[in-house]
Amino acid sequence: MAKPKLKIIFPVTLFILSWLSAFFLGKRTFFRYLPIASFTSLIISVLSVVSNQRKWWENKNPLSPGPVDYTYKIGPFFLATIWIFKFTYGTFKKYVWLNALLNIINAYALAEVWERLGLFKLKKINHTIWYFICVHLSIIIYGVQFLMEKAIRNSGK
């Protein structure tokens, strides 16, 4: 269990660093992928509510009490979605490989850190199931982004 100050400093630092990275995205990139990052955060937030009800995991973040850890959903998770799309959109194979790698880090290493800090606890699911949830979500959101961009292109014709 981490000291109480660390339980606050760690999520705040991640949140701030994530948003500082937004300055390097470029305005056009940020607004191009803003809808898919927002959609992803919404899906993960709904999943968090369901998971709390079914006791799949528990959020213990003092900055974001309740079933949804907003410091993570609208911080690192949100900005990571935009960065991943910036570097990989248009090359599905590259997108899948990068997401597979980052989801391994998220599901195993980072989840372990959150658990040790006492911010998050997997209960009825394990790290592998969380990994596959994230991988499946990444494939779904790629399809949604593809359909959104296709609709935008077709509306201009």
135-143: long-range pairs with CB below 8 Å, 24+: 135/99, 135/100, 135/103, 137/40, 137/43, 137/44, 138/84, 138/95, 138/96, 138/99, 138/103, 139/96, 141/36, 141/39, 141/40, 141/43, 141/81, 142/89, 142/92, 142/95
pLDDT of 128 > 60? The answer is yes
Mean pLDDT over 111-123 rounds to: 86
Per the structure, the complete domain to which residue 132 belongs is given by 4-155
Residues 67 and 5: their CA atoms lie apart, in Å, by 21
pLDDT tens, position by position, 8-67: 888 889 899 999 999 999 999 999 999 999 999 999 999 988 988 899 988 877 677 777
CA distances, 115 to each of 7, 37, 149 (Å): 11, 25, 38
Neighbours of 103 (CB within 10 A): 19
pTM score, whole prediction? 0.89
* Selection from 124, 123, 10 nearest residue 62 by Cα: 10
Question: How many structural domains comprise the chain?
Answer: 1
pLDDT of residue 62: 64
pLDDT of 1 > 70? The answer is no
pLDDT tens, position by position, 57-99: 888 776 777 777 888 889 999 999 999 999 999 999 999 999 9
